[in-house]
Amino acid sequence: LYEKRWMVLTGVALAVMFLAIVGSVFGAGIQVPGVYGQVNPARLPNTPPFDQPGVRQLGPGRYEATVIAHIWAYSPNEIRVPAGATVTFNLTSRDVIHGFRIEGTNVNTMVIPGQIARVTHTFKKPGTYLFLCHEYCGVGHQNMFGRVIVE
């Protein structure tokens, strides 16, 4: 009788470990490219860098742009950097799933509430680069855009 109990316990322990492995694989599987961290959408005003959206210079030619997506706009919706700037975008959503694609570049990521997306691009040519939401997010979806102005 005792041996049987131990076999059952061992079996349960193995099953738990197996489920933990499957769980972690699945958890990693639903991550999208560009996602590098977690953030509580309800606490964005108290969570750096999202407490201060906008552009910050990190060093010579290096910038960081923190942008919050929400229905149905980006805050901020205009980012100004000099030509040649390498800009790292920190993005998250305050509400539903949005997208972030900058036309004329390879920048294209989902913006998911609770997760931080990070993408980097060097803007060599001056001009206006439209960015827009490419995930349907409700009736105001088509109004969701902004621009990077490279001077």
For residue 112, the minimal CB distance to ligand CUA (Å) is 11
Length, in residues, of the chain: 151
Please report how close the Cβ of residue 141 comes to ligand CUA at its closest, in angstroms. 4
Partner residues linked to 120 by β-bridges:
88
CB of 67 to ligand CUA, least distance (A): 12
Residue number, 18 or 136, with CB nearest to ligand CUA: 136
Interaction site with ligand CUA (CB under 6 A): 98, 133, 135-137, 141, 144
Closest contact distance (angstroms) between CB of 74 and ligand CUA is 9
Q: Which is nearer to ligand CUA, 62 or 141 (CB)?
A: 141
CB nearer ligand CUA, residue 99 or residue 150: 99
Would you tell me how many other CB atoms lie within 10 Å of the CB of residue 113?
18
Closest-CA residue to 148 (of 134, 119, 128): 128
- Are the CB atoms for 122 and 44 separated by under 8 Å? no
Which one, 62 or 94, has the nearer CB to ligand CUA? 94
Cβ atoms of 84 and 127 within 8 Å: the answer is no
Cα–Cα distance between 63 and 105 in angstroms, integer? Answer: 17
